[in-house]
Amino acid sequence: MESYLRLGDQLRAAYDGASGVSIETGAARAVVFCGMGGSAAAGDLVSAAYADDVPVPLEIRRGYGLPAWVGRDTVVICLSYSGDTEETLSAYDEAASRGAHVVAISSGGELAARAARSGAPHLAVPGDAPQPRAALGSLTGAAIGALVSAGVLDEAGEQVEQALADLRGQLERLGFDVPTERDRSKQIASFVGSRIPVIWGSEGVSWPAAWRWKCAFNENAKIPAFASALPELNHHEVVGWTKGHADAFCLVVLREPGEHPSVQARLDATLPEIRAADVEVLEVRAEEGRSPLARGLELMLAGDVASAYHAIERGMDPAPIDAIARVKARLAEGR
């Protein structure tokens, strides 16, 4: 929980460290972020937050491989907090073998070692977070800094400082000693209660935030959670919200001022279906962020802390992720 509250300090330190590094990229025609889980969340957020500001596509890839178009004119930024995630290492090797401009971001591990061996830039983030997902500020700051260092994004220090200022109020209203009436995350935790949350975002930063909430409720609260996005969900999911699920599910809708203007009209047209199914709906708005970055962080932080409270209120430790370790162990045994 404490690490989530250090999001701002993490962001500033990592941005300052990464944006000062010189990264030779030639004329990059695309940027691909590679990563999994908590590390991928930073790539998701940065891709969505800066999509309208940079002249090249920003893509995020989760998995072992890379699409055929990745080559010498592509910057591939591999994010792995531990530096030991096999899918990200495989994507790193693939990018390096194609002559792409590879940048590694990790707290150490095999990714740092491979970058050192091949002379690729490695942007180190502090290794003191209890879990990769608690290093969102560091990974995001390093990812933004990497874009600046690679010459893809203009200097972003002012925007990072502005995002920190925008987050300050929210950070003051989070914490064990803040009463529930003032702490939105405690209210969200109680709203979810014993139900499975379905989180909706939309085009822009609320979608990566919705996915982050899903992952945070999975990993911190140890419950199933699902995420989907408008307008796509209007073409299938809306049909599935029928009576009989009200005790099992609840819906959280993430909103932010930068969302597409169609979102309000779509919600007005869609929520009657959800209410007819008696499913409870909670809207969570990014209220303070002046930039897509700040609003994305604001929404992500709200979900991170709410899911941690959800665990704590049930007497559980949010940190452990034993099931992930068991899956990795079984994979290793099978080799």
Binding site for ligand F6R (CB under 6 A): 36-39, 80-82, 85, 88, 131-133, 219, 321, 324
Q: Is 197 exposed, middle or buried (0-12, 13-18, 19+ CB in 10 A)?
A: buried
Contact 318, 312 (CB under 8 A): yes
Contact 31, 150 (CB under 8 A): yes
- Over its C-alpha atoms, the chain yields an Rg (Å, rounded) of 20
Q: What contacts 228, CB < 8 A, 6 or more positions away?
A: 198, 199, 200, 210, 237
Nearer to ligand F6R, 59 or 219 (CB): 219
Residue number with the shortest CB distance to ligand F6R? 37
Nearer to ligand F6R, 19 or 220 (CB): 220
**What residues act catalytically?**
219, 235, 328
Instruction: Give CA torsion, residues 229, 318, 47, 197, to 10 deg.
Output: 0
CB atoms within 10 A of CB 196: 14
Please spell the DSSP secondary structure of 217-247, one letter per residue.
HHHTT-S--EEEEETGGGGTHHHH--TT-TT
Nearer to ligand F6R, 88 or 270 (CB): 88
Nearer to ligand F6R, 28 or 209 (CB): 209
Contact 178, 75 (CB under 8 A): no
Nearer to ligand F6R, 112 or 205 (CB): 112
Amino acid at residue number 162: Q
